[in-house]
Each structure stands twice: as structure tokens, then as C-alpha cells.
Amino acid sequence: MSDKNQLPHKNRQYSDSFRYAFEGIKTTFQEERNMRTHVLAGVLALLLGIVLSLSITEWLWIVLSSFLVFVMEILNTVIENLVDLVTEEYHPLAKKVKDMAAGAVLSTTIFAVVTGLLIFAPKIIKLFS
């Protein structure tokens, strides 16, 4: 396999890895309403963080929480697509897998909301007191 022409197309150029990865993110954003909702929430958290002048530690938690939700939504989409690829009719195990993947997104989103509340709530309360 020393002949470069025998390698699968995706392995020919290192830059292709990035292009395919960005294509995957773009596809998830275009096809998944929940991903668009998560991105909107992330942008709002970013803007609120700027307005409230978060510390570096607070920024780290907000960015971590936001990206964990994005990653989990992408993984959930991957799992749902794979299940749909291998099962054409309803199967209880397929439902179970999809529900578990959705539960992972929900759990991560709850973590992000709690993190946001712990960071933003005291600052917002202080603004109005």
C-alpha cells in the first residue's frame, strides 16, 4: 500500500480531514433544529458573558458547557443516523439507543444550564439590587 493512489480519497490530503469535519458540523447545524437552538443559546451566553465581564474561570466553564452540548448534539445525530441506516422498521432496541443518545444531550444541556445559572444569576441579581 505504498502507492498513494491506493489510499481512500479522504486520506490523501491532511486538509481534507478539516474540510470533512466542518462539513459534518455544517450538516448537523442545517439538519438539526436542536443544534440551531443550542448554538443560539451559546451565542446568547457569549453575549451575556461579554456584558457581565466574566472572569477567565467563568469563561472557561461557559465555553466548556457550551461545547459539550454541541458535541453531544453531534454525537446524538450520528447515533440517530446510524440507527436509521441499519433499521428500516421499528425495533425496541433502536428506540432504546436513540432515547439514550437523546438523554445524553439532555443531561449535558442540564449541566450547561446549571453552570450558566451559577455564573450569571448572581451577576444579574447584583445588577438589579
Sequence ranges of the domains in the chain: 15-128
Q: What is the pLDDT of residue 88?
A: 87
User: Which of 119, 126, 129, 116 is closest to 41 using CA atoms?
Assistant: 116
Give the residue numbers of the binding site for substrate: 73
Report pLDDT for 10. 52
Residue 28 · residue 74 · CB < 8 Å: yes
The residue annotated as part of the active site, out of 23, 31, 58, 73, is 73
Binding residues for a divalent metal cation: 32, 80
Q: List, run by run, the mean pLDDT of 10-residue segments along the chain (129 residues).
A: 54 82 94 95 97 97 98 97 93 96 98 98 93
Residues 45, 51, 56, CA angle at the centre, nearest 5°?
70
73 classed as catalytic = yes
Distances (CA, A) of 60 to 30, 36, 109, 118: 27, 22, 16, 13
The reply to whether CATH 1.10.287.3610 applies to domain 15-128 is yes
Express each pLDDT in 90-108 by its tens digit. Answer: 999 999 999 999 999 999 9
Q: Are 112 and 65 in contact (CB under 8 A)?
A: yes
